[in-house]
Amino acid sequence: MRAALIVAFTALIILPSCRRAASRETEAEPAIPVLAEPVRLGNIRASISATGLVEALPGAAFTIVAPEPARIAEITKNIGDPVKSGEALAHLEFPSLRAQTAVSEAAVKSAELRVKQAQLTHGRVQMLIDKGAASRNELDDASREVEAAEAELTTAKAALGVVVAQGGNAIIRAPFDGTVTERLHNPGDAVRADESDPILRLIDPKQVHVRVTLPVAATTRFVIGATARAVPEDPASRAATQPALLRVATRPLPESGARTVDVTLAFETPTELKPGTQVSIEIDAEQRSNVPVVPVIAVLKDDPAQPVVVVAAGNSAERRPVVIGLVDGENIEILSGLKPGELIITQGHSTLRDGTPISVSAP
């Protein structure tokens, strides 16, 4: 009987303790749901980012400016239109040219009339001489008048020719195949004979390139012919423009002691980017194959000197330092700290501590 009482008493003491332990287990930290994926072997190519400037090669740009004050009668092209060499771009009317033409035409008619009258006079004097009714001096005077009248006519016709030649400027033609990049006036507009008042701008897309200044060390990471992409730096223009494809055209050897070098990139296809446009450039650099890679979002860089990933070690998180290599737009190369196949957390990992319970789902 006494033994039974002791057992019952002991049970009464132990039971509350067990309930408290069970309660603590029930109150344990809940598992954090996360997404994870394995470290994989893949290929990765680095890129070099820089700011470049679109430039036209000598002779690649043409700006229409009126040769004298004029009114635009017609513009045949709009922005983005292709143009063939010799094709009419604009028709201009010159108010002063019309007045000059009228004056020159009147001068020619007056000179023609003077020549006709001089020739008639010369003929009459010649007849009178044949009849003995005029002197030789009178014939000489008539001959000199004919010569003077003919000289005046020659001068008047030359002046009219100059005016007519100036009229040839009324039609402005394209000097090469190209694309219209700017249209700054419309028909009916009055324009000045001034570089600050252009009518149209035309470029030859085949003779436009991008110049970018890079550190000397960066130029060793790519070769001539490497692919690149360019987009305008201006946010509004960037949103409306597709990235332009380029290739590295020149990569000069740096001068002794130089820290930077100018690299030029040629457009693969005709571009709408205008000379003078600042662009963001991405040049494809070195590539590595069959190396461990993880998504960019998986790497935490709270301490830039020591990147960290969070590994799904069973049902708990493990923060692990890693050494990273090449980086592209989506992935990061892992040089050490991870093995292919290990699960790394890609979402929900930024606040996880070592040992935090997790519930893993595949992405």
- Nearest partner of 79 among 234, 232, 201, judged by Cα: 201
DSSP-derived letter for residue 170 is G
**Segments making up each domain of the chain, as ranges:** 32-45+289-361, 50-59+203-288, 63-181
Contact assessment for residue 229 and residue 281, using Cβ atoms and an 8 Å cutoff: yes
For residue 61, what pLDDT is reported? 85
Tokens found for residue 193: 């004979």
pLDDT of residue 167: 58
Which residues touch 202 (CB under 8 Å, ≥6 apart)? Answer: 61, 62, 63, 64, 83, 89, 174, 176, 178, 179, 180, 181
* pLDDT (0 to 100) of residue 7: 45
What was the pLDDT predicted at 248?
A: 95
Query: What are residue 85's phi and psi, to 5 degrees?
Result: -55, 135
pLDDT for the residue 340: 93
Q: Where are the alpha helices (DSSP H) in the chain?
A: 2-26, 95-131, 136-167, 216-219, 235-240
Counting as low any pLDDT under 70, the low residues of the chain are 1-28, 96-99, 163-169, 363
Torsion of CA 353, 359, 362, 363, to 10 degrees: -60
Domain 50-59+203-288 listed as CATH 2.40.30.170: yes
pLDDT at 80: 83
Q: How far apart are the first and last CA of the chain?
A: 64
CB 241 within 8 A of CB 229: no
Contact between residue 360 and residue 36 where contact means Cβ atoms under 8 Å apart: yes
Q: Which two tokens stand for residue 70?
A: 């004029």
Domain 63-181: give its CATH code: 1.10.287.470
Helix 136-167 and helix 95-131: axis angle, to 10°? 160
Question: How far is Cα 201 from Cα 79, in angstroms, rounded to an integer?
Answer: 9
pLDDT value of position 23? 47
pLDDT of residue 122: 86
Q: What is the DSSP string of 128-152?
A: HHHHT-S-HHHHHHHHHHHHHHHHH
239: number of CA atoms within 13 Å, CB side?
2
- Tell me the average pLDDT of the chain: 86
The strand pair at 190-191 and 244-250 is best described as unpaired
| pLDDT computed for residue 323 by the predictor | 95
Two structure tokens written together for 97 = 């040219």
Per-residue pLDDT, 5: 45
Task: For domain 32-45+289-361, give its CATH number from 1.10.357.10, 2.40.420.20, 3.40.718.10, 2.40.180.10.
Answer: 2.40.420.20
